[in-house]
Amino acid sequence: MAKKKTKFVCQECGYESTKWMGKCPGCQSWNSMVEEFVESATKGRSFVTGERTETSNRPQSITKVENELEERISTEMKELNRVLGGGIVPGSLVLVGGDPGIGKSTILLQLSYQLAKNSYKVLYISGEESMKQTKLRADRLGVLADQLYVLSETDVDYIEKAINDIQPTLVVIDSIQTVFQQDVTSAPGSVSQVRECTAAFMRIAKTKGIAIFIVGHVTKQGSIAGPKLLEHMVDSVLYFEGERHHTYRILRAVKNRFGSTNEIGIFEMKEGGLEEVVNPSEIFLEERTEGAAGSTVVASMEGTRPVLVEIQALVSPTSFGNPRRMATGIDHNRVSLLMAVLEKRVGLLLQSQDAYLNVAGGVRLDEPAIDLAIALSIASSFRNQSTQPTDVMIGEVGLTGEVRRVARIEQRINEAAKLGFKRAIIPQKNIGGWTIPKGIQVIGVETLEDALDVALGG
C-alpha cells in the first residue's frame, strides 16, 4: 500500500509545514500545529463546484452587465438591519463571531423566529445541541413558529440534503467548527474542515439564493478561530461584543459587502432574550455620578449614529518604580501619548502617577475625536476638580497640544442638545458652516490648555 502523506497545519492561522514545530512561524502561537493527511487531487473537493454555463465563462463589458437588484429581507430588529446595511441579502453568507455565552445563538434564534412568523421558511441547524435542547431554549425565549425547522446534524452532505428538501429562505449553522465533510480526513474544527465546509455553504448560498448565517468560535485573542481565509470567503463578518457579566451587547460589522462596516447595533440581554436599545446614549449615561472628578462625556460616532458615553479616569500617585497605565474600552497607547502631551504642553506632572481609564457601559471607542475628553478626564482626576455635568467634549489632540477638527460635528452636537447638555467644548476650526441647535452653548478651543481653562477654570 502507498504510504499516506501527512502535513502539519496551524489551527490558528492555517500555516502548513512538512514537519511538526512547537511554535508556528506564521502567527507565533505555541502547540498549534496538528497533523493532517494530504488529500489526493482526485479525492478532495474543489472550492468551487457546480455547473458552469458558457455565459458565465465569457468576459463581458462592465457597462453591459445587468444589475439584479434583489429586495432585502427586513427583520423586526432595526439594529440588526442597520448593521447588515438595510436587511438580509438573499444568497449572502454571513459569519457571526463572539465569546462563549455572549448571545450568538440567542440572537440568531430570535432572528429565525421573526422571519418564520412572517411566512419565511427557516432552517436552524445545531451541531452543538440536540433538537430537544434547541426546543427548550426556544420555549424560554418564546420563539415558536410553524415555519421554523430545527435539525441536529454535523455532516455537510446531510445538511445539504435537508436544505434541498425544505428550500428555506434562511439557514443558520451553529457552529462551523462542529460540521464536517466525510471525504476530508481531518477532525471537525480543523483548518481543512472549516475551509471546505465554508466553501460548501458558500456554493449553496450562491447557487440557491439562500441566506446562510454561520456561527464561528473565537480564540483567546478574540479573533474568529480557523484560517483568516474564512473571513475572506464570506460576504459579511459580524462580531458580538460585550462582557458576559454586563447586560449590554454590541453587534459590530468588521466586513460587509452589502453595506457600511462602521455601523453598530446595541442590544440588552434580558430574561426573554435580546432587546434593542433604541437610545443608547441615555443607557450609557443613566448611572453617571454628577460632580465626580475624572468624569467627562464625549459624543462619539459609531457609523452614522452619534453615541454619548462617559469616560472615567482615576489618577493617583504610584507606589512602583514605573507608573501603571491601564485602559478599558480605549487604546492604552493613546492614553500614554495624551498623558505625555499633558505633561509637556500643559505642565501637569504625571510621570509619577498611575492612571486608570474606563469607558462606562462596556463600549469600545477607537476614533480620534475622543482625545479631548480623555485628556480632560485625566486632568480633572489629577487636579481633583470636577467638570460641569452638562458639558460634552469633542476634539482630536495633536502632539503639539493643538485641538484639531473632527468630522460630523453637527450630528454630535444635535445628539448632545437632545439629551439636555448645555455646553459643548469643540475645536475652533469646527465652528461655522452649520446651525447650532437651541439650548446649547458651543465653545471653540484651539489648544489643550484653552480647553482646560474652559472646562476646569484654569
| 90 assigned binding-site residue | no
Q: How far apart are CA 253 and CA 265, in angstroms?
A: 9
| 105 assigned binding-site residue | yes
For residue 82, which of 258, 268, 282, 309 has the smallest C-alpha distance? 258
C-alpha grid cell, residue 357: 481609564
For residue 281, which of 249, 252, 307 has the smallest C-alpha distance? 307
| 98 assigned binding-site residue | yes
Query: Cα 180 to chain center, whole Å?
Result: 27
Number of alpha carbons in the 13 Å side-chain half-sphere of residue 168: 27
Q: How far apart are CA 234 and CA 117, in angstroms?
A: 27
| 100 assigned binding-site residue | yes
Q: How far apart are CA 249 and CA 98, in angstroms?
A: 10
* DSSP H or E run through 173: strand 170-174
| 265 assigned binding-site residue | no
| 214 assigned binding-site residue | no
| 228 assigned binding-site residue | no
Q: How far apart are CA 387 and CA 443, in angstroms?
A: 15
- Single-letter amino acid code for the residue at 455: A
Q: How far apart are CA 315 and CA 384, in angstroms?
A: 9
Distance separating the N- and C-terminal Cα atoms of the chain:
85
| 103 assigned binding-site residue | yes
Give the residue numbers of the binding site. Answer: 98-105
- Annotated binding residues for ATP, written as ranges, equal 98-105
